Every structure is written in C-alpha cells, then in structure tokens.
Amino acid sequence: MSKNNTIKMALVAVVSASGAVSMTAQAQDATVGTTAQVLSNLSVDSTPINFGKFTPGQNTGYISIGADQSVSGLAGVTLMGGASTGELYLYGTPGQNVSVSIEGVSSLVGPGAPMTLNQVGLSNGSTSLGSNSVISLNTNGASTLKLFGQLAVPGNQTPGIYSGTVNVVVSYV
C-alpha cells in the first residue's frame, strides 16, 4: 500500500469514528407556557348634565358648563341655579386602560323648539379630554369623568322641562 492510500484510509477512519458525517437528526422537546387574563365586565353609571333653571332672552342665548365645572349664561340667558356637569362612573378591572368616546348627542326636546347641545366633552378633574380618549382605571377598578357642554337656548323659548341624551361608549383597549 502506498503512503498516499494509507493517509486517505486513516482520514476516512477518523471522520467516520467522530460522527461528523452522521445523518441522524436530533429532536428537542420544549415546553411553552400559556396565560390568559379574564377582565371584569365594564359597567357605567351616570348622572345627567343639568343645565338648571333659567329664563331665556329675546334672542338665542347659551348656557355653558365648562370642564372646570364653571357655569355661565350668555346672550340674555339668566341663570336661576341648579346647573352642574354630568358624571360618568366607570367600573372594571383595576389598572386597565379603557377608551371613552362620545358617539352621539341629541337635542333637548320639550314643549317648545328643540335646544341644541354643543361642544360636549369629557374631563378628568379639571383637565379636558378629547372626545375619544384612553384613561386608566384606578387601583380599585374605577374612574369618574365629568361631562360638560353648551346649550343653545332659542329666544323666548317656551317654558317647560326639556331632555336629551349623550351616547358615550366605553371599552377596554
């Protein structure tokens, strides 16, 4: 046997013995964890925006209730008391974020001409939020928001009780 053939045979023997050319596949087991969090159902209670008692002017006037709970009568409307922001009381899973959005506003209707509700908004304390905002529920799973706006009162409006609605949608995000 030649010296060259001896070296080739020795290399083949070393490679075969080390398993470097083995075609056996290796399988590995793994365990993957899974989790889920079930959230409490959201619930909402509310008190209405109350534009209070007032007398109208001869021309269209306004009652404004601000994010800071300020109340003013404009353009001939005379306030007689009782005006206040509305409140939304949100309840759910502590620390979770919720989206709160104003989806619709109706005019206040009663015995006379409808009164338009404008500039409706939400506030968290004295900070005004957008009409579609994300807030966090506190450690008790609650949050209270103020609802404010401006009511347009037609001149010489017919006396009586008027009512309307604001549609607010609340959902987890």
The domain tally of the chain equals 1
- Does residue 99 fall inside a structural domain? yes
- Does residue 38 fall inside a structural domain? no
- Does residue 87 fall inside a structural domain? yes
For residue 120, what are the domain limits?
A: 43-172
Instruction: Please say whether the beta carbons of 171 and 99 come within 8 A.
Output: yes
- Does residue 117 fall inside a structural domain? yes
Q: Model-level pTM?
A: 0.73
- Does residue 7 fall inside a structural domain? no
Contacts of 92 (CB under 8 A, 6+ apart): 39, 40, 41, 42, 43, 98, 137, 141, 172
- What digits encode the pLDDT tens for the residues 15-74? 445 555 556 678 888 899 999 888 888 999 999 999 999 999 899 999 999 888 888 888
- What digits encode the pLDDT tens for the residues 73-126? 888 888 898 899 899 999 999 999 999 999 888 899 999 999 999 988 888 876
- Does residue 78 fall inside a structural domain? yes
Q: Which domain CATH number covers 113?
A: 2.60.40
Around Cβ 63, how many Cβ atoms within 10 Å?
Answer: 21
- Does residue 71 fall inside a structural domain? yes
